[in-house]
Amino acid sequence: DAKTTQPTSMDCAEGRAANLPCNHSTISGNEYVYWYRQIHSQGPQYIIHGLKNNETNEMASLIITEDRKSSTLILPHATLRDTAVYYCIVPMTGGFKTIFGAGTRLFVKA
Amino acid sequence: GAVVSQHPSRVICKSGTSVKIECRSLDFQATTMFWYRQFPKQSLMLMATSNEGSKATYEQGVEKDKFLINHASLTLSTLTVTSAHPEDSSFYICSARGARGADTQYFGPGTRLTVL
């Protein structure tokens, strides 16, 4: 089973920030949180990852709670092209096996 | 980010034939590669994990004799679907990562297999 839970779907207005939550309450101390997205009929695209500190790159920001049991992916100015399924992943240590949950289907609306 | 390619992107074959899908890491050495399968409107399902030079580890329910995986080099893994049947029609996706503990896993663009 996936080690994360996410809402099934979310809507966001174009130009507004999209905040996608993820719960990973069983995460252990040395496990990273990764975010990917999948646009229809394509392979997943890497977005960002983090361990303890908040992270930011050209695509998004990742906010991880102090207890590391949850995180939020922030797309600061969502565009129509950000419509996709977003996956929050915690790869297993000792092999890095990655189990995908259902993800969050984000709809960005004009 | 790093680039992972897959070939072919799309293949149609007759029932009973075998199909080989290649996965290459283009700009990094992939110690570990993963193969996933995705059916319409479903999430990715991990099929197997392969480490360079070792036998692949298959997930429960995945037939190792039907889905042959070879990871002969640090940049290439292949998945062969043997004696393909219509129920094997799916979207097959590979991913690759390097050796370091925090190395990111990068995904290929996927291969659409249709078995007639």
pLDDT > 70? residue A95: no
| Average pLDDT, rounded, for chain B | 92
pLDDT > 90? residue A92: no
Does residue A100 sit at the B interface (CB-CB below 8 Å)?
A: yes
C-alpha distance from A101 to closest chain B C-alpha (Å) = 7
**Higher pLDDT pick, A25 / B1:** A25
| Cβ-defined contact of B43 to A43 (cutoff 8 Å) | no
pLDDT band for position B81 (cuts 50, 70, 90): very high
Residue where the block lists tokens 């479903």: B42
| Cβ-defined contact of B43 to A103 (cutoff 8 Å) | yes
Residues of chain A contacting B104 with CB distance shorter than 8 Å: 34, 46, 49
A12-56 pLDDT, tens digit per residue, is 999 999 999 999 998 888 889 999 999 988 999 999 999 998 999
C-alpha distance from B16 to closest chain A C-alpha (Å) = 26
Q: Are B42 and A2 in contact (CB under 8 A)?
A: no
For residue A44, what pLDDT is reported? 96
| Cβ-defined contact of A44 to B6 (cutoff 8 Å) | no
Is the preceding peptide bond at B8 cis, omega within 30 degrees of 0? yes
Q: What is the DSSP letter of A51?
A: S
| Cβ-defined contact of B105 to A91 (cutoff 8 Å) | yes
A55-71 pLDDT, tens digit per residue, is 999 999 999 999 999 99
Residues of chain A contacting B1 with CB distance shorter than 8 Å: 46
**Helix%, strand%, coil% for chain B, nearest 5:** 5, 50, 45
CA distance to A49, A57, B20, B22, per residue, from B38 (Å): 23, 29, 17, 17
